[in-house]
Every structure is written in C-alpha cells, then in structure tokens.
Amino acid sequence: MVAPINEYTLDDNTVFSIQGKGLKLNTSDDVKDFVDTIMQMDNLQEIRLSGNTLGVEASETLAAALKSRSTLKVAALSDIFTGRLLSEIPLALKALCDAFENTSLEELDLSDNAFGPAGAEPLIDFLSNCKTLRVLRLNNNGLGIGGGTMIAKALQANADKARAENRPSSLHTIICGRNRLEDGSSKALATAFASHGTLRVVRMPQNGIRPDGIKNIVQGLSKCDKLQHLDLQDNTFTAKGSQALADTLGNWPELTILNVSDCLLGKKGGIALAESLEKGQNARLTHLHLQYNEITAPAIITLAGAIKKHLKDLTLLELNGNRFDADEQEAKILLEALAEWDHEDALDELDDMEELDSDEESEEEEDEVVEEADEEAAAEPVVKNQDKEEDVLVQQLNKTHI
C-alpha cells in the first residue's frame, strides 16, 4: 500500500513530518489523521515531530502505529513536551521508546526536552538493547548527574551485549551538551565510551565538568581511536584537565575538529596542548577552537611550530580572548606558519585579547598551584559522595533489568 502524498509526507513517502507546527496533541483523536498516514507508509524511514507538544494518550497512539514500521531509521523528537506536567513526560517517552525497539532506528534526537533525570529512565530499555543506534542527541535535557549516569549505564549495557554477541557497536555519535552532568557522571560516561570504542563524534559542551571529570572523560575516549570531532567547550580544564587531554591526543589520529574554547586551559594547559600537537599525531585537524582560555605567548609560539610542521589542513583557528598581544612577534609567527599552507585566513579576529604583564603572570602561577592543591584536598570526599550516588543509581537500574 502506498501512502497518499499529503502535507505530512516528504521524500517519496519515506518521511513523515509535522515539524514546527506548534500543535497541542492530547488525545487519540488529535493524532488520528497522522496515524492513518503512517499506517500507509510501508517504507517509513524518518519521523519528525519536533516543535509540537505531545500528551500521554497521543504519544501512546502514535507509538502503536510506529511499532509496526520496522523500516524506521530516524526519530526527530526535539522540543515535544512544552507545557506538559513532569508526571506526563516519562509515560509519553516510555511509549515512544518501547515502539522504537521494534524498528531499525539509527538516530534518536530528544534534544530541548527539559525532562531531567526522570526522563532518563524511560530511555534505559531502548538504549540498553538497540542494536542499530548510530546517533544519540540528548542536548539541553537537564539530565544532571543522576540522569547522565543512568544514560551511561544503559550505554554500557548496550556495549556489553554487543561484546557478548560478538558484534561491533553501531554507536558513533553522542551529543549531550547543556545537561549539568558535572564530575559525578564522568566515570560512568567514560567507562561507556571506552566500552563502545566506536565513537567518532562526542559533543559535551556546557556541562559544568571540572578537571577530574575532564580527565575521566578523555581517558575513556582514549579507547576510541576513530574519534573525529570532540567538543568540550565551556567546561573547566585548568592544568590538570589540559594535561590529560594533551596526553590523550595521540590516540586520535583521525581527529579533525577540537573545540575546547572557554575551558580555562591557562598558561600551563595551553603549553601542554601545543606541545602535544607538535608531536604530529593529529595531522588531520581542520578546526581548532581555543578562544578565551588564558593562553599565553609561549604556547602560541609552540602552536605555530606545530602548524608549520604538521597541520597543513587547518582552515579554522580560534584564539580570540587569550593572553598574548595580537600585534607582537608570536602572532606574526603564527600567521607565517598558517601561510606555509596558504591558510593565513584561518585565524579569527584577535580583537578581544587579554594583556598579561610579569606581575600578573607570577600571580597566575601561584593561583594554579593553590588551585591544584585545593582540588587534591577535595578529591577524596567528592569521590566518596559520587560512589554513594552511583550505588543508588545502580540499584535503580537493576530494578529496571538493564
């Protein structure tokens, strides 16, 4: 049976879309026309519901129809719970995710749904068991430490099942920014990343992750030797996290995009990163984002050497907002290095730079020593609290039969 071409179907009847229509769908009657169309689409591959608001009954009715569409590969479900009660969202989400278990879903986008940790639990069964998922988008969901750990444990279960069945993981992209994951979920996420080992794109900006958490994340990703795009923008590295990243860069020979802007690398961190790039193990880099990191002149000179020797494909370099003079020798050396590869236009505008005199530099070094000492002193109780929280989450997950 071939679905009639109407306002809801696209691309030769392989895509069903009501995206951006601002519909409030509460009951089965509200989605009856949509269900009738879906049931006629024998080769449905993509469903786009983003930008509407779905209640429990409407979600369950749509889910019943989707359950029979084994050809479904993409579900775009961002921003579908605006104005819904927090008690409604898990039920609606559970119905949809259960339906996807009968499909060949490769991409799931649930971004911009503020469902918090309660919304993570309905995803557990699907994420634990799906053998075809390639792309997971959970951006701006308010997961928090608890929700992030639940997601990580589910992804870990998925990797364990793939290994037990002697098949490779299908997962290659995880986008999970603006979720307040902090350090508390970093161990579980790092373990899951390492277990999959197939990740090519990992984007986790604006998560409040601090140096110990950054260290966990990059060490987990060190097992993903096909990584191409890493975005950890607007988290906090300092010297410790920067050194962990520098130590790991050599494991990613296919890396093309690295975004660590607004991450407080500092003087030492900037040098560590530049020295790692100078080793020539990341020659495929095309985009390097390093804005607003308090990077100083010595790191810039080393970075220029790395570019001149190895980074022939670098077409975008962001360094605005750092602590070196845009009119001094180090900036000229940087431009000369880019010009070696005819990429002198790669450098962004340096119009918001911080100046650092010798007194400030001494103070910065002292601050770094104090900060590192404070982190070490605080590490033990933080770990204990994290372990206690993880034990509670593991018990919850065991009850849901991950």
Which pairing describes strands 53-54 and 24-25: parallel, antiparallel, or unpaired? Answer: parallel
Cβ atoms of 61 and 28 within 8 Å: the answer is: yes
Full residue range of the structural domain in which residue 296 is found? 237-385
Angle at 259 between CA 136 and CA 269, to 5 degrees: 130
pLDDT of residue 1: 43
Low-confidence stretches of the chain (pLDDT < 50) are 1-3, 360, 362-363, 366-367, 369-370, 373-374, 376-402
Residue 7 lies in a domain: no
pLDDT of residue 395: 44
> Strands across the sheet with 316-318, in order?
9-10, 15-17, 46-48, 74-76, 107-109, 135-137, 173-175, 201-203, 229-231, 257-259, 287-289, 316-318
Eight-class DSSP state of 104: T
Helix H segments across 207-345? 211-221, 238-248, 266-278, 297-309, 329-339
Residue 317 lies in a domain: yes
pLDDT of residue 356: 66
Q: Which two tokens stand for residue 146?
A: 């608890």
Residue 85 lies in a domain: no
pLDDT of residue 355: 74
Residue 54 lies in a domain: no
pLDDT of residue 308: 97
Residue 173 lies in a domain: no
Total domain count, the chain: 1
pLDDT of residue 364: 52
User: pLDDT digits over 97-116, tens only?
Assistant: 999 998 999 999 999 999 99
pLDDT of residue 5: 54
Which pairing describes strands 135-137 and 173-175: parallel, antiparallel, or unpaired? Answer: parallel
Q: What average pLDDT is seen over the chain?
A: 90
Cβ atoms of 235 and 209 within 8 Å: the answer is: yes
Closest-CA residue to 330 (of 289, 270, 284) = 270
Alpha carbon separation from 326 to 25, 31, 331, 334, 345 (Å, rounded)? 55, 59, 5, 10, 15
HSE value, Cβ hemisphere, 13 Å, CA-based, for 226: 10
Residue 141 lies in a domain: no
**CATH classification at residue 284:** 3.80.10.10
User: pLDDT digits over 348-381, tens only?
Assistant: 999 999 876 655 454 455 445 445 544 544 444 4
Residue 341 lies in a domain: yes
Alpha carbon separation from 103 to 46, 82, 317 (Å, rounded)? 11, 26, 42
pLDDT of residue 368: 54
Q: Which two tokens stand for residue 163?
A: 């290994």
Residue 14 lies in a domain: no
The single residue listed with the structure tokens 């069945």 is 165
